Structure 1
Amino acid sequence: MRTDDRLAREVLDLAQPLDTSDINGAYFLIRDGRIVMAGLSVECKTRVQFHAKSGDKDFDSYAIVPGHASIADYVARIILEEEPEYNTRLPQNTSYITAKDAKDIYRIGKVEINAAVRSKQLEVFSLHGQQYFDRRQLLRVLRGEGS
């Protein structure tokens, strides 16, 4: 973990032993002070207990953040910044979009995307070789608005 990473620090500050409360929101599995998985669930207790009992994920503590309207974006941002080993993609319904989807949906070309990235109007995130953009930033670029 990068020590200047405020979002990850907030999550790690919420770490608890493996006794969960049933909460709708986001859960984070943690091993040795590092987020190894981030997820969304309507029953975080059930989800964390499933991972603990099945042994499919190696973790020693967890954190739960109660759900709210932007919880999926919060989880997506953590995944993009921390690249937890068990997350291979972002949750659905976030404001992040893959480079391929951006090109297909918004008909924006590679040249336009690269120019926006170089001018710092569009931030690129990578997760397991897949590039993502913040959809809101992309729409500002398409509308010709500055950063």
Structure 2
Amino acid sequence: MAKVNIKMPEEFLMKISRLGSKTDEIVPRVLEAGGEIVLDKMKSNLSSVIGKDTKLPSRSTGELVSALGVSPALVDRRGNHNVKVGFNEPRKDGVSNAKLANIIEYGKSGQPAKPFLKPARRTSRQPCMDAMIKKLEEEVESI
């Protein structure tokens, strides 16, 4: 039977050892930094598609864009940390923000789709990862 012995770089091991018990403090800040990047992209995409190419003048109040936000970093049942970028509920007029966003994203009879979520996810993926890596490195260096 073959045996493999892998040695980790000394610098990497030092960073990991410095994290220690601080992981639960650092991870939420890192995730929130990435969530802000996605939120900015979603807001700009949503603002650009609302009222675009409509037959009638737009009746947008700006409530849907202002309802976008990032949740605080929470731990789920499995022990994973997550943040969610989404819409606050309810609206003043009683209509669900999620329903309106779904109609804009996928369209409906007589209303073409104006995707803003999928492009935001696709274009913000790498900048989000870069921001989280940068924030993690800052946090590790400050320990």
> Which structure is higher in strand share?
1
> Which structure is higher in helix share?
2
State if a TM-score over 0.5 links the two structures.
no
TM bucket, shorter chain: under 0.3
Give the alignment's TM-score, normalised by structure 1. Answer: 0.23
